[in-house]
Chain A
Amino acid sequence: MSAGSAIALQHVSKSYRLWGRRSQFATLKSALLKRDLRPAPEAAVPALIDVSFAVHRGEAFGIIGRNGSGKSTLLKIISGILKPSSGRVAVSGRIAALIELGAGFHPEITGRENVYINGIMLGLSRREIDARFDRIIDFAGIGEFLDQPVKTYSSGMYVRLGFAVAVHVDPDILLIDEVLSVGDEEFSQKCIAKIQEMKYRGVTLVFVTHQLDQVRKLCDRALWLDHGATVAAGDPVRVVDDYLQQVAGHVAPAAPAAAPAEAPPEQGKPEPEPEKRSDPQEEERWGSGEVILKRVSLVDERGHDLVALGAGTPVTIEMDVEVRAAQEDFVFGIAIYHADGSCVYGTNTDIEGWMPQRLERNGRVRFVMPSLDLVAGQYRIDAAVHTRNGRAFDYRRNVIRFVVGSRVHDIGVYRPQHDWQFQGGIHFSPVDLLKRNVPAPMAEYIRESEEKE
């Protein structure tokens, strides 16, 4: 296990044994005869086949796949509830597993008492629970029901209390199995916010979910399991998309056929080495190829390519669209990312209410921004054309990189158009014009921002 891994699985396989009903009575006798207390199973069903991956400390790792693909088994193996049939599992740090919220609550005793029992089950001492008690209750929001037996709780309250205890254990590793889909909208927002907070604090997260949006939004990497085997691992947006392609009936995740020359060679193939952390800056491309974005460029008002610009410049993202098969369900989208990986802005035609009718011939899509109000730094753009449920025809990750330069060392990512105004007895000497964001030669912008890196 490398130093940075919180979880490392090496060639983990798991078979479930089937215990026949008819042989129940025979087994006690035969077990005694064989002098082995473990009855022989009738058959073994493979649940996981040679799964290897490592989750780095502080990483959010998503596991997706259809029902019965081994996701929950994998989570249970990581948590230690199940033992692998073969292979090695190494985990470092305190684990909390949200496999079933409120498992272990006793219906006859009060919420307060259950919080203590549940906390102790999750590895806290009584004193540690005392210290967290108010936060737990506050988060759960069960009010006066705290001193009522748990059997009087609504299922929502039950789940809230279970989640509240589990996330306040302060685990190093949090395993989450589908629990975010329970409870009402408000609470599930609260859960996601809490999970994000934990992620920022450096907690390693492993998700199992069918909510692919959550994987795209929350995870740094994703793993796609099918029939117990790894199909793809790596960039979550890409893995989710490969998965959607397959669900939509496309047998293998395929690269756009006859891809344009600028496309990177490894496109379309699942990440072969799950140990390797995919470089978030790298250009990647995937999709079914029925429609492709032949050229994506960032241009100024006169149609000239831009790589560096000053804040507040008018810019347009242009996409040359090649239609290889006519479509009736299509969405064009763009997203701007900061170099640190955070999304500055993302939108698509569907979000903004453009109802697709026909995509029949080649054409051009222009996304026009009268003023790109960004703070100095490096940015990247994703462009995509996909169906409304997210299956990509052509997804081009990091297809454009550009630099925003500025002489003003303001901070953040967004620079609202603004001015300072002073009234009364507040006086400044005249503004140093050089510090103002006046247009300057491109080269200077580039040099400046390169020095900053």
Chain B
Amino acid sequence: MDELRTLFRYRQLIAALTARDLKARYRGSILGFFWSLANPLMLLGVYTLVFTVFFPQQVVQPYPLFLFAGILPWSFFSAAILESSSSISGNAGLIKKVMFPAEALPIVVVLSHLVHFALAIPVLLVATGIFVILGKVTFSATILLVPVLMIVQTIFVAGLAMAISSASVLFRDLRDLITNLMTLGFFITPIIYLIDRIDSRPLRALLRVNPMTPFVIAYQDLLFFGHLPGISDTLLIVAYSLASVALGFSVFDRLRDTLAEAI
């Protein structure tokens, strides 16, 4: 677990770089923070429009709130993974010219996207509050468990990000592959629909194999339905997180020494 020790040793650096990332993103635009919300909000708007106006499907009510609960963790996942694929190759100067712990780079990407995610939660709460006032839903205490789920998801995302950031230095095509996988991933994760409405058994099995499925379902359970996630989903979440971290560390460990050359 050399990586864990390295990451711990460089925690100040990671914190400083994350703060730098966020500052750089928000500097120069008053609406900086809102722009980082724009992506999930626009997705939310588009899908709400499509599935309530164009193809009204009474999946579940209120639909925007349901969408919101799934889109936020998905955006966190996909944005962090996509960006991490260029986190090392995009910082060639650091890797080649400075004694720099390369493992910090994907972690910084994940953490700064976690901050975006966390900043979107209050917006979700406000939206929920509106629907509470309208009398359509009620607040549930399970919301308090969301931070725990976010931490577990961060671990899951960080492991994948480490593997992808280092592997994409050697395999430049990996990034294109991931971009396409993310588009597919959005639709094979039960974000815009409920997994129970899928009739085909093999298809449901396929959806279960998608590691993001149990995470998204758990968020929906906590935020929207107001009950605890099922045992099987919880176990899958823990298993995927552990597997992801193991994968990330082992891939990174094997590639670390070649990074400064191959970049």
Do A113 and B20 form a contact, CB below 8 Å, given A76-B260, A103-B98, A149-B27?
Answer: yes
Q: How far is the CB of B167 from chain A (nearest CB, A)?
A: 7
Q: Is A295 an interface residue (CB 8 A)?
A: no
Q: Which 7 A-B pairs have the closest CB atoms?
A: A108-B24, A100-B97, A103-B97, A28-B171, A83-B257, A103-B93, A99-B97
Query: Which of A17, A31, A104, A149 touches B94 (beta carbons < 8 Å)?
Result: A104
Question: Which of the residues A38, A82, A117, A125 comes within 8 Å of B260, measured between beta carbons?
Answer: A82
Determine, out of B9-17, B60-68, B208-216, B233-241, the stretch whose residues face the partner at the interface.
B9-17
Instruction: Decide: B98 and A97 in contact? CB cutoff 8 A.
Output: yes
Docked Cα-Cα span, A39 to B168, in Å, equals: 12
Residue ID in chain B nearest A116 by CB atoms: B16
Q: Is the CB of A37 within 8 A of B23?
A: no
Any chain B CB within 8 A of the CB of A121?
Answer: yes
Per-residue CB contact flags for chain A residues 239-257 toward chain B (1 = under 8 Å, else 0) read 0000000000000000000
Which B91-136 residues have C-beta < 8 A from chain A? Answer: 93-100
The reply to whether A81 and B96 form a contact with Cβ atoms under 8 Å apart is yes
Interface size class of A (residues with CB under 8 A): 35 or more
A55 vs B75: C-alpha distance when bound (angstroms): 52
Residues from chain B with Cβ under 8 Å of A19 in the complex: 170, 262
A282 CB → nearest B CB, Å: 38
Q: What's the nearest-Cβ distance from chain A to residue B109, in Å?
A: 14
B99 & A97 in contact (Cβ 8 Å cutoff)? yes
Q: How far is the CB of A363 from chain B (nearest CB, A)?
A: 53
- Give per-residue flags for B3-39: 1 if the beta carbon is below 8 A from chain A beta carbons, else 0: 0000000001100110010011001100000000000
Chain A residue at smallest Cβ distance from B24: A108
A81 to B97, CA, bound (A): 7
A376 to chain B, nearest CB (A): 48
B258 close to A38 (CB less than 8 A): yes
Q: Return chain A residues, CB-CB under 8 Å to B79.
A: none
B257 partner residues in chain A, CB cutoff 8 A: 83
> B171: which of A24, A80, A81, A126 is its contact (CB, 8 Å)?
A24
Answer whether residue A79 sits at the interface, using C-beta atoms and an 8 A cutoff: yes
**Contacts A24-B171, A38-B170, A82-B261; A125 near B12 (Cβ below 8 A):** yes
Q: Once the chains bind, are B255 and A121 in contact (CB under 8 Å)?
A: no
CB within 8 Å of B: which residues of A? 16-17, 19, 24-25, 27-28, 31, 37-39, 76, 79-83, 95, 97, 99-100, 103-104, 106, 108-109, 113, 116-117, 120-122, 125-126, 149
Cβ–Cβ < 8 Å partners of B96 in chain A: 76, 81
Indicate if the CB atoms of B261 and A109 lie closer than 8 Å: no
A106 and B170 form a contact (CB under 8 A): no
> Within 8 Å CB of A126, what residues of B?
12, 16
Identify which of A17, A82, A104, A108 contacts B98 (C-beta below 8 A): A104
> Is the Cβ of A109 less than 8 Å from the Cβ of B172?
no
Q: Name B's A-contacting residues (CB within 8 A).
A: 12-13, 16-17, 20, 23-24, 27-28, 93-100, 167, 170-174, 251, 254-255, 257-258, 260-262
Centre residue among B27, B97, B173 by max chain A CB count within 10 A: B97
Chain B residues closer than 8 Å to A80, beta-carbon distance: 99
Interface centre among A16, A83, A117, A121 (most CB of B within 10 A): A121
- Are A109 and B99 touching (Cβ within 8 A)? no
Cα distance A113–B99 in the bound complex, in angstroms: 20
Quote the shortest CB–CB distance from B249 to chain A (angstroms). 13
Q: Give the distance in Å from the alpha carbon of A38 to the alpha carbon of B169 in the complex.
A: 11
Min CB distance A101 to B, Å, is 9
Alpha-carbon separation in the docked complex, A16 to B20 (Å) = 34
Taking the closest CB of chain B, its distance from the CB of A46, in whole angstroms, is 13
Instruction: Say whether A99 contacts B262, CB under 8 Å.
Output: no
**Which residues of B have CB within 8 Å of A27?**
170-171
Pick the residue among A28, A83, A109, A121 that contacts B100 (CB under 8 A).
A121
On whether the beta carbons of A106 and B255 are closer than 8 Å, the reply is no
Find out whether the CB atom of B20 lies under 8 angstroms from the CB atom of A109.
yes
* Contact call A99/B27, Cβ cutoff below 8 A: no
Nearest chain A CB to B64's CB is how many angstroms away?
A: 34
Across the interface, do B13 and A120 meet the contact criterion of CB distance under 8 Å? Answer: yes
B27 near A108 with CB under 8 A, answer yes
- Enumerate chain A residues within 8 angstroms of B255, measured Cβ to Cβ: 37-38
Q: Which residues of A contact B28 (CB under 8 A)?
A: 108
- Name the contact of B16 in the complex, choosing from A31, A37, A83, A117 (C-beta under 8 A): A117
